[in-house]
């Protein structure tokens, strides 16, 4: 069953608290992504991971870090959350990058920072 699972789906945190968003996939995909989606904007890439411990910054990495210790699991960490990090975060995976292969998305994690 090809699936990308995100936990938690909804989260409210106070400014300055740490946030851990988790993502798992059951397809043994090498490449995984973290995006954020804000109203009126296209998805913005935060980090990309090409495989275990092979991570690269995306377009908006500031304030975020990631961890990938197993191929099927990719975490997004916010150390000291800020109100402007309120957003919907999407994890995605792809078998060999994005060429001709479809991209599988999770259902999103809605984070509110107050």
Query: In this chain, which stretch among 17-25, 67-75, 77-85, 106-114 interacts with another protein, using CB under 8 A?
Result: 106-114
Told to check if 73 binds another protein by CB under 8 A, we report: no
* Nearer residue to another protein within complex by CB, 15 or 112: 112
φ and ψ at 25, to 5 degrees? Answer: -135, 145
Under 8 Å between Cβ of 13 and 112: yes
Burial grade of 34 (CB within 10 A; 0-12, 13-18, 19 or more) = buried
Told to check if 105 binds another protein by CB under 8 A, we report: yes
Contacts of 27 (CB under 8 A, 6+ apart): 2, 3, 93, 95, 104
Distance CA 96, CA 3 (A): 16
**Using CB under 8 A, which residues numbered 12 to 51 contact another protein?**
30-31, 35, 40-45, 48, 50
Kindly determine how many residues on this chain lie close enough to bind another protein according to the rule CB under 8 A.
Answer: 27
Site residues (CB under 8 A) for another protein?
A: 4, 30-31, 35, 40-45, 48, 50, 59, 90, 92, 94, 96-100, 102-103, 105-108
């Amino acid at each position: 069953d090809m699936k990308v699972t995100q936990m938690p789906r909804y989260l409210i945190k106070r400014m300055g608290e740490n946030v851990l968003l988790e993502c798992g996939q059951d397809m043994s995909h090498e490449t995984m992504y973290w995006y954020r989606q804000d109203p009126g904007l296209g998805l913005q890439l935060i980090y990309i991971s090409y495989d275990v411990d092979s991570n690269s910054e995306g377009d908006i990495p500031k304030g975020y870090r990631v961890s990938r210790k197993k191929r099927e699991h990719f975490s997004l960490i916010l150390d000291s959350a800020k109100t402007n990090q309120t957003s919907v975060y999407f994890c995605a995976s792809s078998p060999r990058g994005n060429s001709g292969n479809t991209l599988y998305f999770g259902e999103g994690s809605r984070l509110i920072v107050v």
